[in-house]
């Protein structure tokens, strides 16, 4: 038996939708502005899913999707223009669940992102929770000084590290302006995984050990009351940005591919230079000391992918199979052999 719903009438108070707001957050703000529970208002739009949270604090991680009938009722309650509302809140775009013409219904899903919202920015937006998927480059709030990405997300940065993080964040924005947001996010993700996973894997070449010492010195510069027992993501942020700029460059991406003339030596020399570790090694280390990056570069290049390719690292389906790119060391005569 279908749910009996009242005829929708515009509510007395219609809050302004915030750009990039989460759908559940906006429904909750409508309910709060009209002095009712958010699940009560959501129930006026259609059948509620069983997983819909009752705690408003969970709305920071909740996406509510409406089908066409429920979305039509939302427009009737708010008086909004459909196109303008979807432009402001993309997650409110209606989607059919089973078939066209189905009864009004809502669906709920959890947001799984490494980026959180700045708490002080949320207060300025009348409590609206941001859809962090729409702002993948906002890893730090430069207005209020909060770190928003990965380990340590939501913590207030200390003044001793804020200038360095601010400079790195602005550099990331310039990279996005030059190469595009997708390329900047992709390059940062590759750089962050490489630096973080390399350290966790325990493959600690001399150059990398010196780099990790810098990260811990940066983390220990904050007052003892704000320290944690683990290395926060903001401690490696400047180096991640430096590598992201390099990885997003078509020139350096091309040079990273192993070649018989060993021109990829320039890539690894530049990698040490941008990380500020070139003086700490004395001589160029073996490519084997850059694991796991060389294996990934060779594997992806064998399928015709460079570091700057947007789909770098994703599975590949090909009839022709990979090209053969042997292991070519660039430093040690004893190790200059195919592997």
CA distance 136 to 133: 6
Provide the residue range defining the domain that includes 262: 159-335
Cα–Cα separations (whole angstroms), residue 96 to 45, 66, 71: 14, 8, 10
How would residue 174 be classed by pLDDT, with cut points 50, 70 and 90? very high
pLDDT digits 0-9 by tens, 233-242: 899 999 999 9
The answer to whether position 258 is within a domain reads: yes
CA distance 11 to 262: 69
The answer to whether position 129 is within a domain reads: no
pLDDT digits 0-9 by tens, 286-333: 777 787 888 888 888 888 888 998 888 877 766 566 667 777 777 655
- pLDDT for 176 beyond 90: yes
166 and 62, same structural domain?
no
Hey, what long-range contacts does 7-16 have (CB within 8 A, 24 or more apart)? 8/44, 8/73, 8/76, 8/77, 9/76, 9/77, 10/76, 10/77, 10/78, 10/79, 11/77, 11/78, 14/78, 14/79, 14/80, 15/126
163 and 117, same structural domain?
no
Q: Which of 74, 99, 124 is the last residue of a domain?
A: 124
113 and 183, same structural domain?
no
165 and 107, same structural domain?
no
- Check: CB of residue 155 under 8 Å from CB of residue 170: no
222 and 88, same structural domain?
no
pTM of the model: 0.82
312 and 196, same structural domain?
yes
168 and 71, same structural domain?
no
pLDDT at 115: 84
Q: How many structural domains are present in the chain?
A: 2
The answer to whether position 153 is within a domain reads: no
Looking at the chain, the number of H-run helices and the number of E-run strands are: 12, 4
How would residue 335 be classed by pLDDT, with cut points 50, 70 and 90? very low
pLDDT at 1: 35
pLDDT at 132: 87
Q: Tokens at residue 304, please?
A: 């015709």
pLDDT at 224: 63
Q: What is the DSSP string of 144-205?
A: TTEE-BSTTTTPBPPTTTHHHHHHHHHHHHHHHHHH-HHHHHHHHHHHHHHHHHHHHHT---
84 and 178, same structural domain?
no
pLDDT digits 0-9 by tens, 62-112: 888 999 999 999 999 999 999 999 999 999 999 877 676 788 888 888 877
213 and 70, same structural domain?
no
* Mean pLDDT of the region 196-216: 77
The answer to whether position 276 is within a domain reads: yes
166 and 36, same structural domain?
no
Q: What is the DSSP string of 253-266?
A: HHHTS--TT-TTHH
The answer to whether position 145 is within a domain reads: no
The answer to whether position 134 is within a domain reads: no
In the chain, % of residues over pLDDT 90:
37
The answer to whether position 282 is within a domain reads: yes
Residue with tokens 């009938």: 69
- pLDDT for 218 beyond 90: no
Cα–Cα separations (whole angstroms), residue 201 to 204, 268, 287, 302: 8, 20, 17, 25
164 and 117, same structural domain?
no
271 and 220, same structural domain?
yes
Q: Which of 124, 144, 169 is the last residue of a domain?
A: 124
């Amino acid at each position: 038996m279908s749910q009996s719903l009242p005829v929708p009438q515009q509510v007395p108070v219609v809050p302004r939708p915030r750009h990039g707001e989460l759908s559940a957050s906006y429904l909750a703000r409508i309910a709060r502005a009209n002095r009712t529970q958010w699940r009560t208002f959501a129930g006026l739009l259609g059948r509620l899913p069983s997983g819909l949270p009752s705690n408003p604090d969970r709305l920071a991680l909740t996406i509510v999707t409406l089908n066409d009938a429920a979305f039509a009722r939302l427009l009737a309650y708010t008086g909004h223009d459909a196109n303008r509302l979807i432009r402001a809140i993309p997650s409110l775009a209606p989607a059919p669940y089973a078939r066209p013409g189905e009864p009004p219904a809502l669906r709920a899903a959890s947001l799984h992102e490494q980026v959180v919202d700045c708490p002080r920015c949320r207060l300025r937006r009348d409590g609206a929770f941001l859809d962090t998927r729409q702002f993948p480059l906002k890893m730090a709030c430069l207005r209020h000084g909060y770190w928003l990405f990965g380990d340590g997300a939501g913590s207030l940065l200390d003044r001793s590290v804020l200038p360095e993080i601010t400079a790195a964040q602005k550099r990331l924005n310039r990279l996005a302006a030059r190469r595009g947001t997708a390329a900047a996010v992709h390059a940062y993700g590759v750089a962050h995984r490489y630096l973080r996973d390399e350290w966790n894997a325990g493959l600690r070449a001399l150059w990398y050990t010196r780099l990790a010492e810098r990260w811990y010195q940066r983390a220990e510069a904050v007052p003892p009351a704000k320290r944690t027992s683990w290395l926060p993501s903001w401690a490696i942020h400047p180096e991640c940005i430096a590598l992201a700029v390099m990885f997003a460059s078509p020139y350096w991406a091309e040079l990273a591919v192993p070649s018989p003339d060993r021109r990829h030596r320039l890539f690894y020399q530049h990698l040490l230079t941008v990380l500020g570790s070139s003086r700490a090694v004395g001589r160029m280390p073996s490519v084997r000391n850059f694991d796991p990056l060389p294996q990934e570069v060779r594997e992806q290049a064998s399928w015709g992918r460079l570091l700057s390719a947007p789909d770098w690292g994703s599975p590949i389906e090909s009839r022709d199979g990979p090209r053969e790119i042997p292991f070519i060391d660039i430093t040690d005569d004893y190790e200059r052999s195919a592997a």
